[in-house]
Structure formats: structure tokens, C-alpha cells
Chain A
Amino acid sequence: MMRTVMTTLGPWGPVFFGVGFLAPLLSTLMVEAGITPPLGLSTIQAGLIIGFIVGLQAKLRGRWL
């Protein structure tokens, strides 16, 4: 059971990380740096979009950079 859950969800770890941690971190960094996201997005919305995309590309490519 546990192994099934981990083998299913484990590979999606970078996406969880992107949404769970990178998104609020990026939002905070944007606020601290005085950056206003485009298209009327709030900083947390922008953080979520960037965090999700960065996490997804890391999951698909197998590396962050």
C-alpha cells in the first residue's frame, strides 16, 4: 500500500515542491523586491504558476536546471 502510494506520488515530488514551497517563496521574493507580476496577477498567483511550471519541467526532464 505504502509502496504503491510512494511509487505513484514520488515522481511528482518536484511539482509538489514547486507548488508547496517554491510558490510562496517566489511570492515573498517578489514582494521583497517590489516586483509587480504582469496581467494583474497577485504575487502568490504568479508564484504558483512559476512554481508549477518549474516543478513540472524538473519532473519531466529529471533535473532542475
Chain B
Amino acid sequence: MNVNVTPPQAYANMSDKELAREEMTIARKYLNRFSWFMVFWCFANLACWFALWPLTIMGILPLWAAFPIATLNVILCYLPSHDAQHSNYAKNGSLRWFNELIGYISTIPLVLPFKVARITHMEHHTHTNDPELDPDYGVKADNWWQAIITGIKRRQPGQPNSYGATLQRLGDDPVVKRAGLEGLAQTLSFWGIISALAWSGYALEAALIWWLPRYIGSIYISLMLSWAPHFPNPERGRYRNTRHFESPLGNILVMGMEHHIVHHLHPGIPLTWNAAAYREMKPVLDARGCRSERLHG
């Protein structure tokens, strides 16, 4: 791999065009790579979550132990799908089905319909931090604990569904309609399955392996993937709408989101290489006036 030898101070004097060229030179090293790690992540996490069901029902694993594992599974299940939303496993060709497969199956524990996730996520990228058009703008809060409270409030029955509103805004496109139907089918299936489990004598298993972990996990994902990289102080513009942040929890516990700015600049770089790309790109990003802050509040 090429090593960037330009001294950091040199970037301050570069024109926008020169900075863009430097940025793209670095980005190209990481773009369109195939991440086996993300594939392993998807299948290992899913297998672990599925295994919890027979293990608890047969009494091999106690429910109190299965609950935190299931919550972790839900938290971890989003990111392999996120790379699939950006077609990072295969943009086209013979492996395209594999990209879509990961997108669909990875988020089974979270019950996040893949096509809905992809459409709304693309809207988030196009309109990041736009109060009207960014489907994730609702996570806005001044600090992390208010973001958690906001997350709970957003999931109350009377609250508007920003993803549903986005699909409605996008109108009669057949792809959007299909996504809506798939989303409806998956959501109704989830409620049907956990109700059937509960009425069959597995209410505690349904509650502690799926229902409650999904609730907690979705709030944690919103906190780390939406709030932390974009808020507080949501700004607009390519180099200001997402920040790099240092987390006291470390990059792993925030699911690699410290370097989320690289993802927003170059979504085709798989999560696995966001940190490496950020380190190499940092002088360019500093020259662009990008935000690098501490996660606090």
C-alpha cells in the first residue's frame, strides 16, 4: 500500500481542487474492497442469535444469560446490512444476490426491512441534517442521555414514523411501494411470531430474546449511528454534516462510528477500512475544516 508522504502542513495551502484530488487518491485505495470480515460478522451474529432459541427452550442456557447476548446480537446486526444498503459486497454481477441476501437476513433480529432501510438511508445521505428531509433528524438531542429519552419517545404509539413519512413523500415509485409492502409484511410477521410464541408458552423467551433486545438495541443503534456522528449541533454541508469523534467507550463499543465522516464522504468504503482511511485522510479533512470532537454530554 502506498504511504502518504505529503507533510501535514502542506495541506493547509492547497486549493479545494488539490484537496479533492488528494482525498480521492486516498479513498480509491479502500473503495470497492470486499470485506470478508463483514460477511463473517453477519453470519456469526445471526447464528449466535438463532442458537439462543433452542438453547434457552431446552434449558441449556438460562434466560438471564441469553438476554444480554440477544441485545448484543441486535445491536451488532445492523452494520453488515448497512454495507449491503450501499452495495459494498457487490454492486452488480454474479454476486449481487449475495449483497441483497446479507441486507435481508442480517437485520432479522432488529426487524428492519432491508428495502425500507436502503431507501431511507439514501435519503439520510442525500439530506443529512435537513430537518424536513433527513429521516434520522428525529434523533436530534443536546446530549447522550437526552438522545436516549428522545429514542424512547419516538417509539411511542402516537409518534410519527419518519421512515413511513419518507416513503410517502417519495410517492408512487414501484420500488418504494414494494419496499413499503415488504416492510409491512416483515413487521406484521414479527408481531405474529412473538405473539404465537407467547401464547405457546414461550412468552419469556420471546420477550427476552427478541422483543426487549430489539427495543434496547434500536435505541442504542440510533444513539451511536445517528446521534453521535451528527449531533449535537447538526450542521449541513459535505464536510460539516458528520463529525469524527473520540469516544470514551472506544471505537469498538460505538461500532466503528468514530470515523463515520469517512463513510459519509465515501460510502463505498466498507466499515472495516473506515478507520484506516480516516487516519490517512485526516490532514485533508483538517484542511477542509471537518469536525473532530470528543463524545461528551
What is A's interface to B at a CB cutoff of 8 Å?
Answer: 2, 6, 11, 13-14, 16-17, 20-21, 23-25, 27-29, 32, 58-59, 61-64
8 A-B pairs with the lowest CB-CB distances in the bound complex, closest first: A62-B158, A20-B195, A24-B198, A63-B156, A28-B203, A25-B203, A24-B203, A14-B157
| Among A6, A11, A24, A62, contact of B199 (Cβ-Cβ < 8 Å) | A24
The answer on a CB contact under 8 Å between B194 and A61 is no
Q: Interface code B136-170, partner A: CB below 8 Å = 1, 0 otherwise?
A: 00000000000000000100111100000000000
Q: Is residue B101 contacting chain A, with contact meaning CB distance below 8 A?
A: no
B195, closest chain A residue (CB): A20
The answer on a CB contact under 8 Å between A25 and B158 is no
| Chain A residues with CB under 8 A of B191 | 16-17, 20-21
B196, closest chain A residue (CB): A20
What is B's interface to A at a CB cutoff of 8 Å?
Answer: 153, 156-159, 181, 184, 191, 194-195, 198-199, 201, 203-204, 206-207, 211
Q: Complex formed: what's the CA distance from A6 to B164 in Å?
A: 12
The answer on a CB contact under 8 Å between A21 and B158 is no
**Interface of B, helix, strand, loop or mixed by DSSP:** helix
Q: Complex formed: what's the CA distance from A23 to B198 in Å?
A: 9
A15, closest chain B residue (CB): B157
| Chain A residues with CB under 8 A of B157 | 11, 13-14, 58-59, 62-64
The answer on a CB contact under 8 Å between B195 and A21 is yes
Q: How far is the CB of B208 from chain A (nearest CB, A)?
A: 10
Q: Complex formed: what's the CA distance from A28 to B211 in Å?
A: 15
| Chain A residues with CB under 8 A of B206 | 21, 25
Q: Complex formed: what's the CA distance from A17 to B211 in Å?
A: 11
Q: Complex formed: what's the CA distance from A11 to B157 in Å?
A: 8
| Among B181, B184, B198, contact of A21 (Cβ-Cβ < 8 Å) | B198
| Chain B residues with CB under 8 A of A13 | 157
| Chain B residues with CB under 8 A of A63 | 153, 156-158
| Chain B residues with CB under 8 A of A58 | 156-157
Q: Complex formed: what's the CA distance from A50 to B296 in Å?
A: 41
